[in-house]
Amino acid sequence: MFTPVFTITNQVLKNIGNLESAKALIDEAPLIPAYEKQFKQDAIIRTVHYGTRIEGNDLSFQEVARLVEGQKITAGQRDIQEVINYRNVIEYLEELWSLYDANMPLPEEKIISKADDKENRPFFYSETIIKKIHTLTTEKVIPADQCGKYRHQQVVLKNTQTGEIAHRPPPAIEVPYLITDFVSWLNSSLSNEIHPTIKSAITQYILVAIHPFIEGNGRISRAFAILPLYVNNYDIRRLFSLEEYFDRNAEDYYNNIQKTHLKASDIFKRDLTLWIEYYTQALAIEFNRIKEKVKSLSRDIKLKQKLGGKQIPLTERQIKLVEYMQQFGGIRMPEAKEILPMVSDDTIWRDLKKLISAGAVQKQGSTKGAYYALTTV
């Protein structure tokens, strides 16, 4: 069975420490704004845009955003299709994550532990998932009979500037065996002992190195590598986009992959330490970027102590009520109706009642002339 070769260096430990610190703050944010959905959508757009741009797609960020939101644009059909395809890949990953998070059987998989809770039920990685991601990635871009099918020919990757061979993936005949061996390791107890970020790094590199398909290998490798993060609670609300970091640092990205290629002729014997250092650093930087965003969005940090770190998902209406209370010390029904003019009295009452039940707001006085203020500590 495949056994990755790497060393836990001080740099890796530093990177993991940084991302763990960022993750803890994100997870413990006391108030999660309703526009979290907007930021998730932004993360999806960034992932799709930069994930296709690094592979040569020419569409702008605005054009990709319009496509992701279901609008039409005028551009090259291949560029448009690549963006649509990668959005479908993200949706598929979210479906897998949601089903696993809900402890439901994953699509197209039968070998699933029957444990009652997620912690005791390992996620089942499979070649089916890899092939499905490739099918979604390449639909209408390559011949249909090649979608989701391993390559049947030898390929070489050349340096676009010098023309020199940069990477010679293993012969096509070896691909199925290499993938099977690698997937077996992913599902093994040994892999579960490895930190999820390191497991994600290993996953991306090995798939890139095997280069199992004729086209789309970079995208399927980066997409599949997200799963070890998702299923081990490192999704941080799916607000991050490693694709953006890789594209903005494309030279470093490809150089670190290439340097790892040169470690040994046998893919499974290559020392992955350098790549893991780079990958965990990229994650730490992206997690910290999200941390700063979440910090800026958190409402009334003093509530954290009162609520014991409990998260309170807020709707946009509730955010407006909380913001008003923060600015003016409290709110009465007439003010609430002014800032929410299109909302019924009953709906406002329900919003205030939810905030009271959550311990974020206190009610003072009678129902008719009641005054609502943020909980003090």
- The CATH number covering residue 104 comes to 1.10.3290.10
Q: Which two tokens stand for residue 8?
A: 């836990």
Neighbours of 323 (CB within 10 A): 14
Residues 279 and 326 grouped into a single domain = no
Q: Does any domain span residue 1? A: no
Number of independent structural domains in the chain:
2
Q: Does any domain span residue 102? A: yes
Residues 64 and 99 grouped into a single domain = yes
Q: Does any domain span residue 5? A: no
For the chain, the straight-line distance linking the first and the last C-alpha, in angstroms and rounded, comes to: 56
Provide block-wise average pLDDT over 10 residues at a time, the chain (377 residues).
Answer: 95 97 81 61 90 94 91 94 96 84 58 45 90 97 96 83 79 97 96 96 98 95 95 80 91 94 95 98 92 66 53 73 81 90 87 86 82 79
What domain range is 367 assigned to? 303-374
Which of 41, 84, 53, 43 lies closest to 247 in space, CA to CA?
53
What pLDDT shows up at residue 107? 57
What pLDDT shows up at residue 39? 74
Q: Does any domain span residue 14? A: yes
d(CA 251, CA 245): 11
Residues 194 and 312 grouped into a single domain = no
Residues 135 and 252 grouped into a single domain = yes
> What does the mean pLDDT of the chain come to?
86
End position of a domain, from candidates 297, 329, 352: 297
DSSP 165-211: EEE-PPPGGGHHHHHHHHHHHHTSHHHHTS-HHHHHHHHHHHHHHH-
Question: For residues 180 and 127, is the Cβ–Cβ distance under 8 A?
Answer: yes
Residues 72 and 129 grouped into a single domain = yes
Q: List the beta bridge partners of residue 372.
A: 331, 363
Which of 15, 3, 41 lies closest to 288 in space, CA to CA?
15
d(CA 376, CA 372): 12
Residues 215 and 166 grouped into a single domain = yes
How big, in percent rounded to 5, are the helix, strand and coil portions of the chain? Answer: 60, 5, 35
Which residue is listed with tokens 């009452």?
Answer: 349
Q: Does any domain span residue 2? A: no
Length of the chain: 377
End position of a domain, from candidates 233, 265, 297: 297
d(CA 354, CA 34): 14
Residues 314 and 365 grouped into a single domain = yes
Q: Does any domain span residue 165? A: yes
Residues 353 and 222 grouped into a single domain = no
Does the global pTM surpass 0.75? yes
> Which DSSP category does 268 fall into?
G
Residues 318 and 288 grouped into a single domain = no
Residues 147 and 215 grouped into a single domain = yes
Residues 243 and 309 grouped into a single domain = no
Which of 34, 112, 40 lies closest to 316 in space, CA to CA?
34
End position of a domain, from candidates 297, 320, 335: 297
Q: Does any domain span residue 3? A: no
Span 130-180, pLDDT tens digits: 999 999 999 999 999 999 999 999 988 876 667 677 788 999 999 999 999
Residues 193 and 133 grouped into a single domain = yes
Q: Does any domain span residue 4? A: no
Distances (CA, A) of 144 to 94, 139, 140, 343: 24, 7, 7, 51
The dihedral through the CA atoms of 305, 306, 312, 316 has a sign that is negative
Residue 347 maps to which CATH number?
A: 1.10.10.10
Type of residue found at 170: P
d(CA 48, CA 117): 32
